[in-house]
Amino acid sequence: MATATHHRAGRLTTLAYIFLLLSQNIAALLLLPLIITSAILTLLWIGLPFVILTGTLLRTLANSQRRTLHQLHPKNPLPSAYRPIPPTGITRRGATIITDPATWKDLLWLISGPANITLISLPLIPLLHGTYQLLFSLGLTTHPLYGTYTPGPIHQLLTLAPATLLLTLGYLLLPPTTNLYLRFNRLLLAPSEKARLTARVAHLATSRANTIDTQAAEIRRIERDLHDGAQARLVALGMNLGMAEHIVEQDPTTARTMLAEARETTRHALTELRDLVRGIHPPVLVERGLHGAVHALALTHHLPITVTINLPGRPADPVESAAYFAIAELLTNTAKHAHATHAWVHINHGHNRLVITVTDNGTGQATPTPGSGLAGIHRRLDAFDGTMNITSPPGGPTIVTLEIPCALSSPKTLPSSETD
């Protein structure tokens, strides 16, 4: 039996975790009156801020319990599935917390605190008493046992028997009670399938809205660029040509100047269109895929960049594009803010995920503040269920890891190679 339970965590480790669980449950007991108070106040319409406060506390506490349970049983993660609390609006935030079924499940867990404490105490009480009696019988404490039995050879010798008994009992009780506790709390804290799906839908709705917003903004930018740029230049070009045609017989010299101007205007229009195209979808990405495009990017960057790419095929177009722009943005950030002298880009694919690491040896402290490039990357990756992880301690280095779930097409276009 012991082995069955304990390939998860050693008995001593379990004991340590038991104390952690106990303290979390005691915290839960303390939170209970607060929650009841805020519930009553809400009936009087003044308790909503309290609900937000206690609701957030409850989530934090339940999550810390989830983490502890996960650590006790590492192979079995215990995710949370809360509806995200909106950033603003007291009523909206309060309502989100109250209407989230996960909140009510957490409350159930909170209320079962006394039962949980009892369950944990089952092995703890004999263990504590046993230790206490053992200390007494070994003469390590001079106080009378339970305030009654004064230390003496007979009392000490007699106590040895119950001490051993209690310690053995506690030792034997520890695995089954822990096991029972784990199962019981897992049941209470694991999100229901419905909650999981609800959370998923909420995430999809947010990321879809973000994607649409981003795209709409992009299209507006393109429209503006075309309207003020190439389109305007073509108008000027037409005017210049018309005028040149008009005066070519009377004043060939001026006509010639105008034609030269027209040529210059065309060149400007082309340059603008070229930059615009690069911003929409870089031609080199079309021609060479992520592999070639990242190499091309590295070649024109101001810092020396080491690129290592290990892709047995090509990701889908939208993923390639998102990955390319994310890398470009990260390298721009590096050049602008990091005071780095070298950067590294690693791209590989495994477990159905495209994994990109961009590292620099700069000064660190990169943070995704709202509106920053990093936040933009995060938003764009969200559309693919991608994640971004930033490690950037003061003093550097900065390591940004991007993961995008995606499959690769069959290897056909390019030899995937390492550059050096």
Partner 1 sequence: MRVVIAEDLALLRDGLIRLLQAHEFTVVAAVDNGPDLHTALTEHKPDVAVVDVRLPPTFTDEGLQAAIAARTHIPGLPILVLSQHVEQLYARELLSDDTGGVGYLLKDRVFDIGQFIEAVRRVADGGTAMDPAVISQLLARQDQSGPLAQLTPREREVLSEMAEGRSNSAIAGRLYITEKAVSKHINNIFTKLDLPPSSDDSRRVLAVLAYLNGQDTTNT
Q: Which residues bind partner 1 (CB under 8 A)?
A: 263, 266-267, 270-271, 274, 277-278, 283-284, 286-288, 292, 295-296, 298-302, 304-307, 413, 419-420
Q: Is 7 or 302 the residue whose CB approaches partner 1 more closely?
A: 302
As beta bridge partners, residue 309 has 347
Structure tokens at 173: 């009780």
- What's the rounded Cα separation, in Å, for the pair 165 and 168? 5
Indicate if the alpha-carbon torsion angle 314, 318, 320, 323 is positive or negative. Answer: negative
Q: Is 269 or 400 the residue whose CB approaches partner 1 more closely?
A: 269
H/E segment holding residue 388: strand 387-391
- What's the rounded Cα separation, in Å, for the pair 408 and 224? 36
Residue 386's contacts (CB-CB under 8 Å, 6 or more residues apart) are 322, 402, 403, 404, 405
Q: Is 309 or 322 the residue whose CB approaches partner 1 more closely?
A: 309
Q: How far is the CB of 339 from partner 1 (least distance, A)?
A: 12
* 278 and 328 Cβ atoms separated by less than 8 Å: no
Q: How far is the CB of 384 from partner 1 (least distance, A)?
A: 24
- What's the rounded Cα separation, in Å, for the pair 318 and 290? 11
H/E segment holding residue 63: helix 48-72
Q: How far is the CB of 410 from partner 1 (least distance, A)?
A: 16
Q: Is 67 or 281 the residue whose CB approaches partner 1 more closely?
A: 281
* 16 and 22 Cβ atoms separated by less than 8 Å: no
Q: Is 210 or 308 the residue whose CB approaches partner 1 more closely?
A: 308
What SS3 class is residue 69?
A: helix
Q: Is 11 or 267 the residue whose CB approaches partner 1 more closely?
A: 267
Q: Is 261 or 385 the residue whose CB approaches partner 1 more closely?
A: 261
Q: How far is the CB of 302 from partner 1 (least distance, A)?
A: 6
As beta bridge partners, residue 145 has 149
Q: How far is the CB of 299 from partner 1 (least distance, A)?
A: 4
Q: How far is the CB of 247 from partner 1 (least distance, A)?
A: 22
- What's the rounded Cα separation, in Å, for the pair 8 and 73? 6
Q: How far is the CB of 344 from partner 1 (least distance, A)?
A: 11
